[in-house]
Copies of this chain bind each other. A is one copy, B any other.
Amino acid sequence: MHKSGSSSSLGPGGLDLTQAFFRPILSAAPPSPTKRHTKISVVGAGNVGMAIAQTILTQDLADELVLVDAKADKLLGEMLDLQHAAAFLPRTKIMADVDYAVTAGSDLCIVTAGARQMPGETRLNLLHRNVALYRSIVPPLVKYSPETILLIVSNPVDILTYVAWRLSGFPSNRVIGSGTNLDSSRFRFLIADHLDVNAQDVQAYIVGEHGDSSVALWSSISVGGVPILSFLDKQEIAYEKETLENIHKEVVDGAYEVIRLKGYTSWAIGYSVANLARTLLRDQRRIHPVSVIARGFYGIEDGDVFLSLPAQLGRSGVLGVANVHMNDEETHRLKKSAATISELTSQLEI
């Protein structure tokens, strides 16, 4: 079903002009085998998957972009819509198929497939629907791209990253969940918006579960290098603990609010995941709060659980977890977040 381009002749009784139009230079050798050819596959051509795919395309992150979905018509329509923009973009090979063979040799596989979170539905309620789906997605992906990095976006992301890890048999550094990368962006936006400063100058992590039990690391927030809480103490500016909790709540509610207003979220998660793709594929070695295997960090010892921690990412995936200082309360909340996730994970039959 997939149209890979360059094999189509121009219409019935078409003109095969390629060899007439360009004459090859003498004794041409094929391209170097070490040529960089970055291939990204996006599984799921819904609002989230397409926002990710389109942002990756605009930001010129891949040489080849593959879309996979179960719905053939929708898939083909989305592929054509991207291909039609060829005159405005760097040349990127764009393919699509319901069959996973088209994903072979992917450097990065981004999985967004899954039921959409309905208004009022918590991420955890989606779980059972999505686990069954992953049993049909992850095995073929790893079969065709045994060296790939899996980047999981579907919700509940922490549990589905664990599921993907188990189903893939991959080492844990090659299975990552988008986690709280976006929550942290919303958090940084709120703080930056209030202070009239660029959001990229606000260092602030939300960690733990991408959901209601996420943990805002207030003790390590800094703006332009100035740690917020100790600054407030030094300036003797009083603040209520409740105020901080309200800000955090506004972040947690952020996604629900967008879903309530427009039916789903797409653009922000698109930028968030494209940002992760860039760090991974271009070996940027930057720290992102993403869902990684948490055992052994911050006192989390029971069971294999994935949740978001500030992780250094690069071409081989997760390079390590940053040793960000957490106070006692934050550590306590993080462990509680881990316990919440662990409990649900244990109910799955993987």
Contacts and interface: CB of A to CB of B under 8 A. Distances in A.
Interface of A: 5-6, 8-15, 17-18, 20-22, 50-51, 54-55, 58-59, 73-74, 76-78, 80-89, 91, 182, 184-186, 188-200, 202, 223-224, 226, 231-232, 235, 237, 239-240, 242-243, 246-247, 250, 254, 257-263, 265-268, 270-272, 274-275
Contacts of A192: 86
Contact of A18 (B85, B87, B196, B271): B196
Contacts of A80: 254, 257-258, 261
A256 to B, nearest CB: 11
B261 A74 contact: yes
Number of this chain's copies in the assembly equals 2
Nearest to A254: B84
A271 B85 contact: yes
Contacts of A232: 15, 17
A197 B88 contact: no
A284 to B, nearest CB: 13
B239 A15 contact: yes
Q: Which of A84, A182, A191, A272 has the most CB of B within 10 A?
A: A84
Contact of A22 (B5, B21, B197): B197
A197 to B, nearest CB: 7
A194 B9 contact: yes
B15 A267 contact: no
A271 B185 contact: no
A193 B9 CA distance: 9
A49 B261 CA distance: 17
A29 to B, nearest CB: 18
Contacts of A190: 10
Given A74-B262, A88-B271, A189-B87, A15 B81 contact: no
A237 B87 CA distance: 27
A262 B88 CA distance: 21
A77 to B, nearest CB: 3
A15 B192 CA distance: 13
B196 A15 contact: no
Given A80-B254, A86-B188, 19 more contacts: A6-B193, A8-B194, A10-B190, A12-B246, A15-B194, A17-B195, A17-B237, A58-B59, A74-B263, A77-B257, A78-B262, A78-B267, A81-B258, A82-B267, A82-B268, A84-B258, A85-B267, A85-B270, A88-B274
